[in-house]
Amino acid sequence: MTLDEAKQHLIQAWGTLGSSWGVSRTMAQVHALLLVSPVAMTTEDIMEALQISRGNVNMNVRDLMDWGIVRKVLKPGERKEFFEAEKDVWKIGMQVAKERKKRELEPILRALEQVSTIEADITDPDVKQFAETVENLKKFASNTDKSLESIIKAEENWFWGSFFKLFR
Amino acid sequence: MTLDEAKQHLIQAWGTLGSSWGVSRTMAQVHALLLVSPVAMTTEDIMEALQISRGNVNMNVRDLMDWGIVRKVLKPGERKEFFEAEKDVWKIGMQVAKERKKRELEPILRALEQVSTIEADITDPDVKQFAETVENLKKFASNTDKSLESIIKAEENWFWGSFFKLFR
DNA sequence: CTGAACTTTCAAAATTATCTGAAATTATTT
DNA sequence: AAATAATTTCAGATAATTTTGAAAGTTCAG
């Protein structure tokens, strides 16, 4: 397997994984492409490598920047914008965890909070069972939330951050 | 908010969450419906509650059973099949973790293994960088895999399993 | 200020995922 | 074994998402 074949392979696999993670195939592919590229790439480079349109590249690169895992790089003397991916896999994982927590866990916690304001006859067994299920979901979600929070915080902390680095 | 309004609300929110997790909106809604239902439901019950077709209910219920979070229940003297959701939120979480590990983590590990068989000039700095990135991805993925594995195994172990129960 | 180089936007088109419903199949009862 | 009831399948319809590409917008050197 040559370098290019291997890259192609990985980009493909990453794209497939993306879809089962609620990320569009193309966005995942752009990410993989930048991840395995030794140098920052321009919009045109990406268009050519993945055979997709300019608008498509622009949208997906912007989304990846919103996720905090791709950066814009300006080269002195160059008019064009270059893009590069965060290469530290651990940082990518943290960043994704952080964003998903914000975008998914927090909304569901809010929704659970809202439905638990149900004001109904607590002696009704159905109401009681519903309240219990919601309570359990809330506990689970907030446990998950807190665990993620700790990991992220620890990572960002100067001491635990460098401590963790020893193991990766 | 009445009980029915609250249920409706939760089903809706669960459906939205589903889509950002690579699960179809309807599948997540069927799951939520069964989760908050105090009794097992028939295909027709689900069709009516969510206003979806028979075929759609059948497919989604089957998928949920594949995920191991919904069970078929046969009532004596009844011709129809009934369905009920696993109510233990922790078990649901474990089951989902287990399945996602199998369906997503393992394939990506295999793909990474494959691309690391690249046979090329290791002195080429591009090849070296690629090999390094893949190596890091592999480490990250297998760490995640092992961590999940431990949690799942611990949960299934008679001792740690009951130990964990104390905290939830 | 002008115009070339580059980026962004967005309506329409293409693609992909999901759903329907009726026919085929399977299971149960009489 | 035939009738009845329930479940499953899947081709076509529908809906949702993604992509394109050209126009509008922006930036900047001269």
Q: Residues B89-99: pLDDT tens digits? A: 999 999 999 99
Domain ranges within chain A, ordered by starting residue: 3-85, 89-165
Place of tokens 């078990």: B91
- What residues of A are in contact with residue B15 (Cβ under 8 Å)? none
Backbone angles phi, psi at A167, to 5 degrees: -95, -10
Is the pLDDT score of A27 beyond 90?
A: yes
CATH says B3-85 is which class? Answer: mainly alpha
- pLDDT value at residue B28: 98
- What residues of A are in contact with residue B125 (Cβ under 8 Å)? 38
Calculate the average pLDDT of chain A: 93
Is the pLDDT score of A167 beyond 80?
A: no
Distance to chain A for B61, nearest Cα, Å: 19
For A104, name the nearest residue in chain B, comparing CA atoms only: B17
B3/A130 touch (CB, cutoff 8 Å), yes or no:
yes
A118/B1 touch (CB, cutoff 8 Å), yes or no:
yes
B16 touches strand D (CB under 7 A): no
Query: Using DSSP, how many helices (H) and how many strands (E) does chain A show?
Result: 8, 3
Distance to chain A for B7, nearest Cα, Å: 8
d(CA B115, CA B123): 18
- pLDDT value at residue A94: 95
Give the pLDDT confidence of B37-58 residue by residue, as tens digits.
Answer: 999 999 999 999 999 999 999 9
Q: How many CB pairs under 8 A join A and B?
A: 123
Averaged pLDDT, B154-168: 77
Give the pLDDT confidence of B74-89 residue by residue, as tens digits.
Answer: 999 999 999 999 999 9
A75-79, A84-88, A147-151, A152-156: which has the minimum mean pLDDT? A152-156
Give the pLDDT confidence of A87-96 residue by residue, as tens digits.
Answer: 999 999 999 9
d(CA B117, CA B128): 13
**Residue B85, H or E segment:** strand B81-85
Q: Nearest protein residue to C27's C1' (by CA)?
A: B79
By CB atoms closer than 10 A (0-12, 13-18, 19+), residue A18 is: buried
Edge-to-edge order in the sheet of strand A41-42: A41-42, A81-85, A70-74
Distance to chain B for A80, nearest Cα, Å: 23
Cβ of residue B146 closer than 8 Å to a chain A Cβ: no
d(CA B31, CA B86): 9
Give the pLDDT confidence of B98-126 residue by residue, as tens digits.
Answer: 999 999 999 999 999 999 988 777 889 89
**Positions in chain D where some atom is under 7 Å from a protein CB:** 5-11, 17-22, 28
Cβ of residue B129 closer than 8 Å to a chain A Cβ: yes
- pLDDT value at residue A159: 82
Closest by alpha carbon to A111, among B162, B17, B50, B156?
B17
B112/A20 touch (CB, cutoff 8 Å), yes or no:
no
CB-side neighbour CA atoms (13 Å) of A1:
16
Question: CB atoms < 10 A from the CB of A40, how many?
Answer: 18
